[in-house]
Amino acid sequence: MRYLVTGGAGFIGSNLVRHILATRADAQVVNLDALTYAGNLESLADVEEEPRYRFVRDDICDADRVADVMVGVDVVLHLAAESHVDRSILSDAPFVRTNVLGTHTLLAAALQAGVKRFVQVSTDEVYGELPWRDPDEGGAGADDAPRFTEDTPLAPRSPYSATKAAADHLALAYHTTHGLDVVVTRCSNNYGPYQFPEKLIPLLITHALEDRTLPVYGDGLYVRDWIHVEDHCRAILAAADGGRAGRVYNFGGDAEHTNLFVVRTLLRIMDRPEARIEHVEDRPGHDRRYAMDFGRAEAELGWRPTVGFEEGLRATVAWYLAHETWWRRVMSGEYWAYHREQYGG
């Protein structure tokens, strides 16, 4: 089986490439990545000599190059995306180009090449926001609070989520119109090893390790459902293996927490004082709560999360402690100078 993983040098993509190679002895993996700022081949240094693995540096918007790479591919796992909400607020054009036009280029090439399955990896943010509740208070009725289901109408509220919703619609339209075997997955917030330090959990960890303040948007009561990246990798492959064509599958970690709870838990794990918390100006259109109902995935794919939140958080802190050279290099001027010289980004 030959898999094409787009965005395979990013956080989730690099973990997925490694997971496929480790768990599927007959699998071949082609990693297609343009190596924009968050793409880092150092995250795959341990598999670069693996004969079943091949890296191709190219842009998913380049139709000719994508067509070449698509030859002989059985399954496309499409993760390549501009994904940072704050960046989409500052400049949304790259998000439209990569997330919409890039997805179209891949779909057209997959249809032409006769690919057996196309997995569009999306996000819970396409659904908008849920009524707020504090999951960390507990109490009666907490488990009955509404969560996103696959039938929740799409209501994206940021340029990032709007482009992902557009890509989802386009992928499903290729199934309905052209008969391309498409499955869409939507997942909650990921965390784990090799995550770029601009995202919340690695940002907090690295700030704590450097004895800096830990920034929290607004009141810190924004609620997210956290899933360890290894559980997400299993989910993507479960959808690729057993998902029904034209179907959407939600995945979540069953771990809703406020940002303040996450920060305080990290400080406790890392033995740092809560005085390090710094509330900063909120971002525009900040969704108050996301939470995923993964009942369909459990019933149809036999999938559910296995990594508890504190267990996963402790393992993530341990990883960043053990890989200080990796994250310090990513955050350094040396890394950016090297990236611009090598890749132009």
HEC letters along 145-161? CCCECCCCCCCCCCHHH
- Torsional class of 318: left (φ above 0), alpha (ψ -120 to 50), beta (otherwise): alpha
In this prediction the pTM is: 0.93
Say how far apart CA 15 and CA 202 lie, in whole Å.
15
Residuewise pLDDT in 10s, the chain (345 residues): 999 999 999 999 999 999 999 999 999 999 999 998 778 899 999 999 999 999 999 999 999 999 999 999 999 999 999 977 888 889 999 999 999 999 999 999 999 999 999 999 999 999 999 999 999 876 444 566 899 999 999 999 999 999 999 999 999 999 999 999 999 999 999 999 999 888 899 999 999 999 999 999 999 999 999 999 999 999 999 999 999 999 999 999 999 999 999 999 999 999 999 999 999 998 888 889 999 999 999 999 999 999 999 999 999 999 999 999 988 988 775 444 444 444 444
Say how far apart CA 80 and CA 135 lie, in whole Å.
32
Q: Which of 89, 58, 72 has the alpha carbon at shortest distance from 28?
A: 72
Burial of 337: CB neighbours in 10 Å, binned 0-12, 13-18, 19+: exposed
Structure tokens at 253: 């970690």
Say how far apart CA 275 and CA 158 lie, in whole Å.
32
Say how far apart CA 108 and CA 182 lie, in whole Å.
12
- 123-132: buried (b, 16+ CB within 10 Å) or exposed (e) per residue? bbbbbbbbee
Q: What is the DSSP string of 85-144?
A: HHHHHH--HHHIIIIIIHHHHHHHHHHHHT-SEEEEEEEGGGG--PPP--TTT--TTGGG
User: Using an 8 Å Cβ cutoff, are 96 and 80 in contact?
Assistant: no
Q: What amino acid occupies position 143?
A: D
User: Using an 8 Å Cβ cutoff, are 225 and 255 in contact?
Assistant: yes
The pLDDT of residue 142 is: 52
Catalytic residue positions, numbered: 124-125, 160
Say how far apart CA 45 and CA 281 lie, in whole Å.
38
Q: What amino acid occupies position 343?
A: Y
Assigned CATH topology for domain 2-195+228-256+289-307: Rossmann fold (3.40.50)
- Torsional class of 19: left (φ above 0), alpha (ψ -120 to 50), beta (otherwise): alpha
